[in-house]
């Protein structure tokens, strides 16, 4: 038997979702505007609630980084309100007719984009996810059940209360936005098992959270996250371009999933391009974990172990391997890739095509940085996350990822023979 | 630790899938033709293997219906071979560019349809699923790992052996088609846990099989199956059309998921249309489970209990309820629907629109039988199953449901700023 809070909120969310699906874009945008205003108007209440979390976090011995993620201030609240305004400005994904055709018996079939229904979001310490997820789900016509980290419980309760009230005041269905109040782990587990009550679960956070949801959920999950991304510098690569892309893909923001973790370099570059590139990476504070050949030409490199090829460092570290051919690079990537983002730098047409056709990943880049795997950089105007699974949505997810479709079949009395 | 057979076959399937993704439609069609030929050529071997399953089934006390599902004969083998020919004739879903656009920085992004990769199929006693699933997965460029019911193990082993060999002989990658040899339940369970080895799991069979997969899988699942479908006869309905559709939707094939299980009738029909309709249903051997009002006008009806509204009878039984309005019908359907297929018979424009907009189901019908929710009837030329979940694919699934997409991003040295 599921926890009572899950049963209650699940049933309320379903009723809200049924009603919400019929509201216009204008009505949803009014709610988003009201939600943004309410955050600014109730800043004091939010800061007071957040202060409780910060005190509790310090007592519990949370580290600096975690306390910083937890912390809200005027600027961060303004930024959350601004984010809702950006969601408001996005086109409504609903109502599009994706396909339509007529059958020989005269039936007219249309495939129409509709909301997913009830979305569950499980996340960690950052309270801004509460606002962002609520706004995105609402814009796509979904009811949302939020379950944040226990460290942020007072902040999240206050934020959810403000958002839900503002939303309801504009006439949208009550319970469109709900937050799980219990911080009991069993309740989160029951949320993952709420098959039939929740249509899809999206975990947002670190690898261990995501793995726990994937492992325990009977509700369909959209998996996001892990990126063990590669850059291959082909024999024909433009040297300056290879250096620019490698430096960008590793150092522009090393802690994110679309940064590269392994650099594969064609053996023809061993004595000219590669040493130059490694010196520039080292100058940018990147720790090199090199294959045997790499260590020979760049003695500062740490010898790479098997594990280095598998590791998502999320730090200024880079595994480097010299490979004899494009096919050897493809074989390496097939063995170790998490199928997130892979890039080649090349001037050779056949090699560019082979790389993007032979490899299986959410995004494959020719002569561009892997850092572009991102909802905003793709032009989606929003990002729910970057899907690393193959069902439903792959790669950067915009609002469309929060929708499904239904078939509407119009007839004149047709029966099946 | 997963069973060795799962680890081995998973790794082999991954290599096969990587290679298979690059084969042309022509090459795959040659393999499908060879597979069909091989089934016919090796008919004797198939019948001998099947005979073992039948003997074992009789010893194990299987019922007549199950033994019949298990049984192969010349006609059924010819039908399986014919099915492969039909799959051959279908258009290849791969390679379509679903979208493409240019970003302000000059990056060209295309979204291209590609295979899912490795598909696991878990099914029950019918050996024809072995052939059908292998053919469909192959056509869409996927490696498949099959796990059939233990009752059919000798038939399945022989079929898979013949198909895999024929496929490989035409030059397609070995291990494109594999069957789990162990009949141990733990091995099936490990298959559900083979996250990272298997990209998607599709259970094909009865409700308990599907629920077990949904509950136990960490591999993403496409859920198929349960249909508690409704037909609502609106006040404005054409009487003759309502009768034709009700009879068809209930009796044309009562044992399938797109047959109706509950009939909702507007109260204005209580004394004219409804008695006539119930008499015709009764004449077609349908057992009526009626609400209180229905029992008053049709005393042969069995009084319906709460459970009747929830039950997928899959038999010549029908729950019947008189409702005061369209909105009452919508409320009933929202409470009890499995979101498979719902139909309205009406001549009223506003009611037709409200029904299809307010209800959430894979397929919504105006003036047509729910029996049309079917891959062939939709014109897909094949049917993987009827998805009752909202992620990835909803409703009847054709070959496209066995594909995903990847983004290919072409640049000229762009880096992120």
**SS3 labels along B243-258:** HHHHHHHHHCCCCCCC
Which of A98, A99, A95 has the alpha carbon at shortest distance from A114?
Answer: A95
pLDDT recorded at residue A206: 84
Burial class of residue A368 (count of CB atoms within 10 Å of its CB; 0-12, 13-18, 19+)? buried
For the residues B121-128, what does the mean pLDDT come to?
Answer: 91
Q: Write out the residue limits of the CATH 3.40.605.10 domain(s) in chain B.
A: 4-223+397-409
Residue B129 scores a pLDDT above 90: yes
Q: What is the mean pLDDT of residues B386-408?
A: 95
8-state DSSP, B391: S
CATH homologous superfamily, domain B229-372: Aldehyde Dehydrogenase; Chain A, domain 2 (3.40.309.10)
- CB contact under 8 Å between B394 and A408, yes or no, is no
Residue B23: band (very low, low, confident or very high) from pLDDT cuts 50, 70, 90: very high
The answer on pLDDT for B125 being more than 90 is no
What pLDDT shows up at residue B226? Answer: 85
Name every residue whose Cβ is closer than 8 Å to that of residue B357 and which is 6 or more positions away in sequence.
Answer: A21, A22
Of A114, A245, A378, the CB nearest to B413: A245
Q: Which chain B residues are within 8 Å of A18, Cβ to Cβ?
A: 334, 358, 360
Inter-chain CB proximity B407 and A378 less than 8 Å: yes
From the candidates A331, A390, A402, which should be mutated to test the interface with B, based on the most B CB atoms within 10 A?
A390
User: What is the nearest CA distance from B411 to chain A, expressed in angstroms?
Assistant: 5
Degrees to nearest 5, angle at CA B331 with B325 and B336 = 130
User: In the prediction, which pLDDT does B390 show?
Assistant: 94
What is the per-residue pLDDT for A125? 79
Query: What is the ipTM score, two decimals?
Result: 0.94
Q: Which residues of chain A does B207 touch, with a Cβ-Cβ cutoff of 8 Å?
A: none
Rg (CA), chain B: 24
Q: Inform me whether the C-beta atom of residue B316 falls under 8 Å from chain A C-beta atoms.
A: no
State whether A416 and B371 contact (CB < 8 Å): yes
Classify domain B4-223+397-409 at the CATH topology level. Aldehyde Dehydrogenase; Chain A, domain 1 (3.40.605)
Query: H or E segment at B45?
Result: helix B43-59
- Where along chain B do the CATH 3.40.309.10 domains lie? 229-372
Residue A317's H or E segment, with its range, is strand A317-323
Residues in chain A predicted with pLDDT less than 50, given as ranges, are none
Stretch B133-151: mean pLDDT: 97
Q: Any alpha helices (H) in A321-400, and if so which ranges?
A: 326-336, 349-358
B240: pLDDT strictly greater than 90 = yes
Beta strands at A108-115 and A403-414: parallel, antiparallel or unpaired: antiparallel
Task: Tell me the two tokens of residue A156.
Answer: 């999240």
- pLDDT in the model for residue A226: 85
Token pair for residue B9? 């076959």
Residue A411, chain B, CB below 8 Å: the answer is yes
Question: Per-residue pLDDT averaged across B250-276, rounded?
Answer: 96
Among the partner residues A114, A371, A395, nearest to B416 by beta-carbon distance:
A371
Distance in angstroms (rounded) separating the CA atoms of residues B332 and B137 = 39
Mean pLDDT computed over B39-52: 98
Strands (E), B53-174: 97-102, 108-115, 118-123, 143-147
pLDDT confidence bin for B382, thresholds 50/70/90: confident
Q: How far is B285 from chain A (nearest CA, A)?
A: 19
Q: Tell me, what's the pLDDT at B317? A: 98
Indicate the pLDDT class of residue B224, thresholds 50, 70 and 90: confident
What pLDDT digit, counting tens, does each position of B165-198 carry?
Answer: 999 999 999 999 999 999 999 999 999 999 999 9
Chain B residues in contact with A248 by the CB 8 A cut-off are: 415-416
pLDDT band at B241 (very low <50, low <70, confident <90, very high): very high
Rounded to whole angstroms, the Cα distance separating A285 from B254 reads: 69
Asked whether the predicted pLDDT for residue B206 surpasses 90, the reply is no
Report the distance separating Cα B214 and Cα B208, nearest Å: 10
Whether residue A245 and residue B415 make contact (CB cut-off 8 A), yes or no, is yes
Q: How far is B45 from chain A (nearest CA, A)?
A: 37
* pLDDT value, residue A225: 79
Name the band, by pLDDT with cuts 50, 70 and 90, for residue B207: confident
Residue A286 structure tokens: 């990147």
Query: Which residue on chain B is closest to A356 by alpha carbon?
Result: B408
Mean pLDDT, chain B, rounded, equals: 96
Nearest to A414 among B22, B368, B407 (CB): B368
B24 to chain A, any CB pair closer than 8 A? The answer is: no
pLDDT in tens, B334-359: 999 999 999 999 999 999 999 999 99
Residues of B in contact with A223 (CB under 8 A): 220
pTM of the predicted structure, to 2 decimals:
0.94
Query: Given CB atoms, is B99 within the 8 Å cutoff of chain A?
Result: no
| pLDDT tens-digit map of B67-108 | 999 999 999 999 999 999 999 999 999 989 999 999 999 999
Task: Tell me which residue of B370, B399, B372 sits closest to B383, measured CA to CA.
Answer: B399
Examine the pLDDT at B42 and tell me if it is beyond 90.
Answer: yes
Q: What is the pLDDT of residue B148?
A: 96
Contacts of A11 (CB under 8 A, 6+ apart): A197
pLDDT of residue B274: 98
């Amino acid at each position: 038997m599921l926890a009572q809070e899950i049963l209650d909120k699940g049933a309320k969310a379903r009723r809200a979702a049924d009603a919400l699906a019929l509201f216009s874009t204008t009505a949803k945008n009014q709610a988003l505007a009201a939600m943004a205003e309410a955050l600014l108007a109730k800043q004091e209440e939010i800061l007071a609630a957040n202060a409780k979390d910060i005190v509790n976090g310090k007592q519990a011995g949370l580290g600096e980084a975690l306390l910083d993620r937890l912390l809200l201030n005027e600027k961060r609240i303004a930024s959350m309100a601004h984010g809702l305004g950006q969601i408001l400005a996005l086109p409504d994904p609903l109502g599009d007719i994706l396909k339509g055709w007529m059958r020989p018996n005269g039936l007219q079939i249309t495939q129409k984009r509709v909301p997913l229904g009830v979305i569950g979001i499980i996340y960690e310490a950052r309270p801004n996810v509460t606002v962002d997820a609520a706004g995105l789900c609402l814009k796509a016509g979904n009811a949302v059940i939020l379950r944040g980290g226990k460290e942020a419980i007072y902040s999240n309760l206050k934020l959810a209360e403000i958002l839900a009230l503002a939303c309801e005041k504009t006439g949208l269905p009550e319970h469109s936005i709900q937050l799980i109040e219990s911080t009991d782990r069993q309740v989160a587990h029951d949320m993952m098992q709420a098959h039939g009550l929740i249509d899809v679960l999206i975990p947002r956070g670190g690898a261990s959270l995501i793995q726990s949801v994937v492992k325990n959920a009977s509700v369909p999950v959209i998996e996001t996250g892990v990126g063990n991304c590669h850059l291959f510098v082909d024999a024909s690569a433009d040297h300056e371009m290879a250096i620019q892309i490698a430096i960008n893909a590793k150092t522009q923001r090393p802690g994110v999933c679309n940064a590269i973790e392994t650099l594969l370099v064609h053996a023809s570059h061993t004595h000219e391009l590669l040493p130059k590139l490694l010196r520039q990476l080292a100058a940018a504070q990147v720790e090199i974990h090199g294959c045997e050949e790499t260590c020979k030409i760049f003695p500062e490199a740490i010898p790479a172990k098997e594990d280095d090829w598998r590791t998502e460092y999320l730090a200024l570290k880079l595994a480097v391997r010299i490979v004899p051919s494009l096919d050897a690079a493809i074989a390496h990537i097939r063995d170790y890739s998490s199928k997130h983002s892979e890039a080649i730098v090349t001037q050779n047409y056949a090699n560019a095509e082979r790389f993007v056709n032979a490899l299986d990943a959410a995004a494959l880049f020719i002569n561009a940085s892997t850092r572009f795997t991102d909802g905003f950089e793709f032009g989606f105007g929003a990002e729910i996350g970057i899907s690393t699974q193959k069902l439903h949505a792959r790669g950067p997810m915009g609002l469309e990822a929060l929708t499904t479709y239904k078939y509407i079949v119009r007839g004149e009395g047709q029966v099946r023979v």
